[in-house]
Amino acid sequence: MTRHIMVGVDGSAPATAAVDWAVADAGGRGLALRLVHVCEQWPYGPDSIEYCEGTLAAAGDRARALDRGVQVTTDLLPGNVIETLIKESAAADTVVLGSRGLGGFAGLILGSVGMGLAGHAAGPVVIVRGPARARHDLVVVGDDGSEHSAVAVEYAIEQARARNAALHVVYAWQSPLMSPYAAAYNSLLEEDFQQAARAAAERVAPWREKNPDVRITDEQLPGHPVNALIKTGATADLVVVGSRGRGGFASAVLGSVSHAVLHHVTCPVAVIRPRHDGR
């Protein structure tokens, strides 16, 4: 199958915003676009099938009107939404979803569908909240030195290049919980932070050398990674995080960091996990 972006559509406003984002991404990266609607009500009569077909057709018409240079296909599929989209994600470069939806996509992010896809899809999952309000020409990525964050940086570089945008790599160092006498350890904590910050900066250097066409900046901050990503993501077009990591980014998606990022970062968020299918 042609390298493509897959979008889950259901007729909701966030899903429509997801289509718009995916069309632009497909055009910028030279990929095809596949729109999928999972019709869980398929067995329940012609009315439900007609609704599903209409929803999918409307999304297809919108995508083709936005960029006639992008190859667009549509697929109406039966089954459970999460299971079906996870299965179909194996062939996709990226899966794009709206933050909330109707019918099968109800409760996305806060419910099981968004979390299920972000945690178990074969490749990157991008969650789109709504239409882009402004363009900042900036992609932000969280890095902690783990395999997942390294793959996230690679994806972020590709996104920045396609958008002719800058890439900002953020490392956040959170001090360990200390006793009420933590003030006595300030110098040791500062030394630990400086050591971790130097290591994070050194990780960026090879990416910058290998991608001279992309403007890559980096920042090392003390504090919680969620706060760092929320702050830097306020003026970004896309925030990219690994699905799991170590240190501040540990347990992303299934843990508190990813939940907070998905809840509070208003721009699209891409959750990346390493592929193990040879792609």
> In this structure, which amino acid lies at residue 238?
L
**Residue where one domain finishes, among candidates 128, 155, 185:** 128
More confident residue, 39 or 56: 56
**Residue where one domain finishes, among candidates 128, 153, 170:** 128
> Is residue 184 located within the same domain as residue 226?
yes
| Euclidean distance between the first and the last CA atom of the chain, given in angstroms as a whole number | 12
> Is residue 176 located within the same domain as residue 261?
yes
8 A C-beta contact, residue 171 and residue 144: yes
What is d(CA 196, CA 202) in angstroms, rounded to the nearest whole number? 10
> Is residue 121 located within the same domain as residue 142?
no
**Residue where one domain finishes, among candidates 105, 128, 151:** 128
Domain membership flag for residue 216: yes
> Is residue 198 located within the same domain as residue 149?
yes
What is d(CA 115, CA 74) in angstroms, rounded to the nearest whole number? 24
> Is residue 58 located within the same domain as residue 183?
no
Neighbouring CB atoms inside 10 A of 89's CB total 21
Q: What is the CATH number of the domain that holds 221?
A: 3.40.50.620
8 A C-beta contact, residue 55 and residue 37: yes
For 113-125, the pLDDT digits (tens) are 666 787 788 999 9
Domain membership flag for residue 278: no
Domain membership flag for residue 111: yes
8 A C-beta contact, residue 274 and residue 153: no
Domain membership flag for residue 133: no
For 128-184, the pLDDT digits (tens) are 988 888 899 999 999 988 888 899 999 999 999 999 999 999 999 877 655 455 554
What is d(CA 119, CA 254) in angstroms, rounded to the nearest whole number? 7
> Is residue 151 located within the same domain as residue 265?
yes
pLDDT given at position 137:
97
Position of tokens 């996104």?
Answer: 159
pLDDT given at position 2:
76
Domain membership flag for residue 114: yes
Range of the domain at 23: 4-128
Nearest C-alpha neighbor of 259 from the set 212, 249, 204:
249
Q: pTM to 2 decimals?
A: 0.88
Domain membership flag for residue 277: no
Q: Into how many domains does the chain fold? A: 2
What is d(CA 1, CA 252) in angstroms, rounded to the nearest whole number? 30
pLDDT given at position 95:
95
Structure tokens at 91: 């062939």
Position of tokens 């996230």?
Answer: 152
Structure tokens at 64: 């083709």
Domain membership flag for residue 144: yes
For 81-115, the pLDDT digits (tens) are 889 999 999 999 999 998 876 544 444 444 456 66
